[in-house]
Amino acid sequence: MEKDTADWYRNFAEVECKGQSELFANWALGISGDRDVLDLIETLPLQKRQPNLIFAVSRVLGAPLESYNSLRVWLIENWNRIAGQAIQRSTQTNEPRRCAALLPALGLIDEPIALIELGASAGLCLIPDRYSYRFTNHWLHPEDGPSLVKIESEFSGAVPFLRRMPNVQWRAGADLNPLSVLNPEDVRWLETLIWPEQEERLERVQAAMELARRDPPRIIEATALEGLQTLSADAPRGLRKVVLTPAVLVYLPYLKRMELVEAIRSSGASWISLDALNVLPEVDAKLRKPKPGQFTLSMDGEPLARVGPHGQFVDWL
C-alpha cells in the first residue's frame, strides 16, 4: 500500500487540487514524498487515508493553514488525535452546485417524483428544486421566486434546459452518520469540508444550510442498502421513485457497491449517479476519452454528461 498512498496524495495534488486549492496541493504534494507521515497515514484503514478526510480533520483540530513544513510538525505532534477523529468521521461533502447536473437529469423523468438520496449527508442535494439556476440564456427559479441559493455552472453540449422545476412531491435520504443543519457541530464539519480559498463554495453551502433549516429533509441512519429498502417502501404510491447517488459509491468496497447497484436496478426506480472514473466500470466503458479528475453523470448506467467534481461545469454528451 505504500506506493498507492503516495500516488493517491500526488494525484490529489496534481489533478484534483489544480486550480482549486494551492494550499491543499502543497500539503498533498508534501505528504506524497514524506515517508514518516505516509507511515502514520498507512496505520489507518484504506478508506480513512483519503486526503480530503485527513485535511478536514486536521483543520477541525486546529492545523495551521500554512505551508507543508509547518503542517508536517503539527501532524506528527497531533497524530493520535487526528487518527481518532478520522476513524469516527467521513467526508460528507454536501455540494449544492452538483445539483446543476442532477436537475437536468431529473427533468428527463416522468413526474411526480419521490426522491431518495443514498449517502445524503445533511440533505443539501435532496432539495434541488429549492435552488435557482443560471443556464446559458435564462434563470430557472423555484415556483415561489428566486432562491436564497443561486447556482451557476458552465454548461455546454445539448443540455436539456428546463422551463420549470421538476415536480418532487416526496423526498428522503439515508446516511451512515446523518448530519443536521440544526446541529452546530455538524454545520462546522460541513463548512470545514470546503477547501481553503473556496470562499464562494463556502457561502453557497452556508446559504443552502440556511434554506434547508426552513424545512429540513428527512434523513435516516442506515447503510445505503438498508436505506434504499426502507425508503423505497416508505415512498408514496403513484410517484416515480428516483434514487440519487452523487459521489457516494466510491466509498463502498467494490462488491458492496455492485450489490447496491443491483438492488437499485431491481427496485424499479430511476437511478441518477455522479461518479469519478473507476467507480462504475460499465459507465466508464461507454465514455470517449475520459479525463482524470472529471465526474460522470449517468442515468440507469448510461452516461449523460461530464461534470466538474463540485459541479463547476456540466458538459452534456
Residue 63 sits in the same domain as residue 192:
no
User: Is residue 311 over pLDDT 90?
Assistant: yes
Residue 46 sits in the same domain as residue 134:
no
Domain end (from 53, 88, 123): 88
Confidence grade of residue 217 (pLDDT, cut at 50, 70, 90): very high
Domain end (from 88, 116, 143): 88
Contact call for residues 227 and 248 (beta carbons, < 8 A): no
The 10s digit of each residue's pLDDT in 36-92 is 999 999 999 998 999 999 999 999 999 999 999 999 999 999 999 999 999 999 888
Split into its structural domains, the chain has a count of 2
Q: What is the pLDDT of residue 235?
A: 98
Find the domain containing 163 and state its range.
Answer: 96-316
Residue 142 sits in the same domain as residue 33:
no
Domain end (from 53, 68, 88): 88
Residue 72 sits in the same domain as residue 10:
yes
Confidence grade of residue 131 (pLDDT, cut at 50, 70, 90): very high
The 10s digit of each residue's pLDDT in 161-207 is 888 999 999 999 999 999 999 999 999 999 999 999 999 999 999 99
What is the average pLDDT score of the chain? 95
